[in-house]
Structure 1
Amino acid sequence: MSDAPKPVEISTDGACLGNPGPGGWGAVLRYGDVEKELSGAEPDTTNNRMELMGAIQALNALTRPSHVILYTDSSYVRNGITKWVNGWIKNGWKNSSKQPVKNMDLWQELLEAEKRHTVDWRWVKGHAGDKYNEIADTLATTAARTLKG
């Protein structure tokens, strides 16, 4: 039997009413039988920024270094953090077209948030019945709607 602690499972999502427009992010953190829901909103943002913010805020909410399985329906977030970011850093935060990386500020925040943890980044198909992805989506959409009035 392993004495390794259970991983924290996190499902995140972002939403935007218009792109750009009012946006929201949501996250569901699960550890054993404990669940915690987080959400927030920004008045003028993009969907990709909200997807990133969900992951950043969820990782920052953990009070100690953890093994995390993070589920996102954003290929942009998963590919960015697992495949592209090291190249961007090496190239002075320029993409393959030699243009500045979009959302560099949030990518840097995500790298900082991820540092304390061991994160297994997993993609999940959005709007396909995954319970926690649906909850995160509802949290993000509800948060964005609070700004739309």
Structure 2
Amino acid sequence: MGRNAPSYYAVAKGKNVGIYKTWNECRQNTHGVSNATFKKFSNMSDAQSFIRDNSSTSRGSMSSSGGSRYDYGSGYSSHSSYSSGGSSSYGRNSGSSDTSSATRTKVYVDGAARGNGRGGTVKAGYGVYYGPGDGRNRAVPLSSVDDTSTVTPTNQRAELHALNHALDSALESAKSGSGERYQVYTDSSYAKNCVDNWSQKWVQNNWVNSKGEPVANSDLIKEALSKYQAINELYSKSGDSKLEITHVRGHAGNVGNEMADKLANEGADAM
């Protein structure tokens, strides 16, 4: 489909049900909404059918927008992205006050991008893995969380989106008072360092790097940093140790990391 062809962002469950012109409008109406359901279509008829089939209400604004069609749906807290089904106690604590890393919910995240950052046709996605058969497992195409007509998909953005997805879940759980505490694992030194190490200096320098240039992917880094700080403030208030973002070696036989990698590639395949 041509770059200027119309597309349709259908929001079936969100702040306002409707069909929107732009990804930004779609994101504004779905971001932070638990169980948000949305999808990008190439024609109005399919978008309307999606809302009829997935929405409990027919209300909401209706307008046209742009994009291609994909089936693995949305990212972050949405349930319309890939799910392996079922549930699992893998890495999940029992809600007790013991929040050592051995009893925390362990979440593995990964990103994938083919033709990384070179323009043209790039397939990219991210994966989030909780455990075998866990219904929270996700494989998400980057086209569902970025407007890929204006933002080039890259492996770094995929890694940061994966981290944001896990942090969203951890923050929602912390706010709910469920007692469930998280530990996040990534094979991306970049994603970990963005939040754990480099961000402090970037904040001091107003998000300009050492070369005097705007920090790449600052939108996603700021988002992750805000969630990370909010989570650990809540953990601290309840007497729990902080959520750690732990680096693991990629392709080194770590089952959680390998499964997150598999999901990331499935997400890329869905673009």
TM-score normalised to the size of structure 2? 0.50
Corresponding residue of 2:167: 59
Corresponding residue of 1:37: 137
Corresponding residue of 2:98: 4
Q: Does the 8 Å contact 2:166/2:184 carry over to 1?
A: no
Corresponding residue of 2:237: none
Q: How many positions carry a matched residue from both structures?
A: 144
Residue 190 of structure 2 is aligned to residue 76 of structure 1: yes
User: 1:74-97: CA deviations, max 9, x gaps?
Assistant: 010111111100100110001122
Q: Which amino acid aligns with 1:119?
A: L
Secondary structure of the corresponding residue to residue 119 of structure 1: coil
Residue 124 of structure 2 is aligned to residue 23 of structure 1: yes
Q: Greater strand percent: which structure? A: 1
Corresponding residue of 1:48: 156
Q: Does the 8 Å contact 1:70/1:120 carry over to 2?
A: yes
Corresponding residue of 2:247: 123
Return the match for 2:258 from 116, 123, 134: 134
Q: Does the 8 Å contact 2:110/2:128 carry over to 1?
A: yes
Q: CA RMSD in A?
A: 2.0
Greater mean alpha carbon deviation, residues 10-19 or residues 61-70? 61-70
User: 1:19-38: CA deviations, max 9, x gaps?
Assistant: 122210001135xx983312
Quote the sequence identity (%): 33
Q: Which amino acid aligns with 2:162?
A: G
Q: Which amino acid aligns with 1:87?
A: K
Q: Which amino acid aligns with 1:17?
A: R
Q: Which amino acid aligns with 1:48?
A: Q
Q: Which amino acid aligns with 1:122?
A: T
Greater mean alpha carbon deviation, residues 130-139 or residues 106-115? 106-115
Greater mean alpha carbon deviation, residues 132-141 or residues 105-114? 105-114
Q: Which amino acid aligns with 2:173?
A: R
Question: Is the radius of gyration larger for structure 1 or structure 2?
Answer: 2
Return the match for 2:221 from 107, 114, 129: 107
TM-score normalised to the size of structure 1? 0.87
Distance in 1, Cα, partners of 2:217 & 2:250: 22
User: Structure 1 segments of 4 or more deviating over 4 A?
Assistant: none
Greater mean alpha carbon deviation, residues 52-61 or residues 85-94? 52-61
